[in-house]
């Protein structure tokens, strides 16, 4: 199952943004087809993005593939897991708004100074952005170099660019930030369940069971009945474990077959049940979620079936042991061991 995002809204926003540049002032291409200072780099791009189906970003010889499946844009090497819609919109809108300012070097020996060298270079800083349609035909292709973010008011940002099949590089007006790291593209939000909605948390771990009952956003340990003093701060962390829960990475495919840590179930006051399954993989903490009960369908459709890599500190919040919840004895003061 994959989350659905509004591709139509994404493109509509780009078309509106691009139209302001497209119909704005600026020179038109010359009769010879050569680019001219002041014109849009891709004059007809906003309308053509309706057919966009893939965005590739090449950096130091490695290619990041973002592919459209229906209305969802996802990372190909993460099983199609969705990317941040706003980040993708920023790149596509940036391409439509890019306006040529000044021609710069056409000498390949100087490309690296602007960051527009060969994106296949293992030591270069350039990024190649390629937008393609469903048939794999390029809609827009550009080498993106160093950015110049200007702090003066009413002055557009600038970036160095070059077409892959042209020697001429350009300084262009526009904001175009390109990232080749897949982790920077992930839609990181998993869920957000307010701590005040938690009615009960049950934990099964290491052969022991914990039951924590919630009231007014506070948890009380009811099983086991006999236990030492508890740390209220730790209890509050468990109650808030599903608030603004995000991931560091995502792994497609079936659940891990080893490294199981423990399981827990968070039940809300309105009947939503979130089952959490934790695993260790090397030094990473992985989690899978199954959601059921009232209002669970959309959330389960979005997050069910994915294995998320989350912060290791979440282990004691999502599946705590009794030792995690008990108050720690105060540290003993250090002694020098000296005698008089």
Bridge pairing between strands 245-246 and 307-310:
unpaired
Q: What is the pLDDT of residue 294?
A: 87
Domain boundaries, the chain: 7-180, 189-325
- In this model, does residue 26 exceed pLDDT 70? no
Quickly state the pLDDT bin for 332 (edges 50, 70, 90): confident
- In this model, does residue 166 exceed pLDDT 70? yes
Q: What is the pLDDT of residue 16?
A: 44
Within 10 Å of residue 1's Cβ, how many Cβ atoms?
10
127-150, pLDDT tens digit by residue? 999 999 999 999 999 999 999 877
- In this model, does residue 83 exceed pLDDT 90? yes
307-328, pLDDT tens digit by residue? 999 999 999 999 999 999 999 8
- In this model, does residue 190 exceed pLDDT 80? yes
212-268, pLDDT tens digit by residue? 999 988 999 999 999 999 999 999 999 999 999 999 999 998 999 999 999 999 999
Quickly state the pLDDT bin for 35 (edges 50, 70, 90): low
Bridge pairing between strands 284-293 and 307-310:
antiparallel
Edge-first strand listing for the sheet containing 99-103: 81-82, 72-75, 62-69, 52-59, 127-133, 138-148, 158-162, 169-173, 99-103
In 3D, which of 116, 120, 141 has the Cα closest to residue 54? Answer: 141
- In this model, does residue 295 exceed pLDDT 70? yes
Quickly state the pLDDT bin for 8 (edges 50, 70, 90): low
Q: What is the pLDDT of residue 23?
A: 27
DSSP letters of 27-45? PPPPTT----TTSBSSTTH
- In this model, does residue 122 exceed pLDDT 60? yes
Q: What is the pLDDT of residue 156?
A: 78
């Amino acid at each position: 199952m994959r989350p659905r995002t509004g591709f139509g809204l994404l493109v509509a926003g780009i078309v509106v943004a691009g139209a302001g540049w497209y119909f704005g002032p600026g020179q038109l291409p010359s009769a010879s087809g050569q680019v001219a200072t002041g014109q849009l780099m891709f004059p007809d791009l906003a309308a053509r993005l309706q057919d966009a189906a893939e965005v590739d970003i090449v950096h130091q010889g490695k290619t990041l593939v973002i592919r459209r499946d229906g209305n969802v844009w996802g990372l190909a090497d993460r099983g199609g897991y969705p990317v941040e819609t706003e980040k993708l919109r920023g790149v596509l809108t940036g391409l439509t708004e890019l306006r040529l300012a000044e021609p710069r070097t056409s000498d390949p020996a100087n490309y690296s100074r602007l960051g527009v060298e060969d994106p296949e270079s293992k030591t270069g800083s350039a990024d190649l952005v390629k937008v393609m349609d469903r048939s794999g035909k390029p809609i827009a292709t550009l080498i993106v170099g160093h950015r110049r973010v200007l702090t003066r008011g009413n002055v557009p940002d600038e970036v160095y660019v070059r077409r892959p099949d042209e020697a001429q590089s350009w300084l262009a007006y526009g904001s175009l930030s390109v990232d080749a790291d897949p982790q920077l593209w992930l839609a990181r939000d998993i869920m957000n369940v307010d701590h005040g909605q938690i009615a009960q948390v049950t934990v099964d771990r290491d052969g022991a069971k914990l039951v924590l009952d919630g009231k007014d956003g506070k948890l009380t340990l009811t099983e086991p009945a006999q236990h030492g003093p508890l740390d209220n701060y730790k209890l509050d962390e468990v109650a808030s474990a599903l608030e603004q829960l995000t991931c560091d990475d995502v792994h497609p495919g079936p659940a891990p077959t080893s490294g199981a840590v423990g399981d827990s179930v968070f039940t809300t006051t309105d009947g939503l049940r979130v089952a959490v399954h934790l695993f260790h993989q090397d030094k990473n903490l992985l989690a899978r979620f199954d959601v059921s009960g009232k209002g669970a369908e959309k959330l389960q459709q979005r997050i069910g079936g994915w294995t998320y890599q989350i912060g290791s500190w979440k282990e004691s919040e999502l599946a705590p042991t009794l030792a995690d919840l008990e108050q720690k004895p105060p540290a003993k003061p250090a002694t020098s061991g000296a005698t008089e």
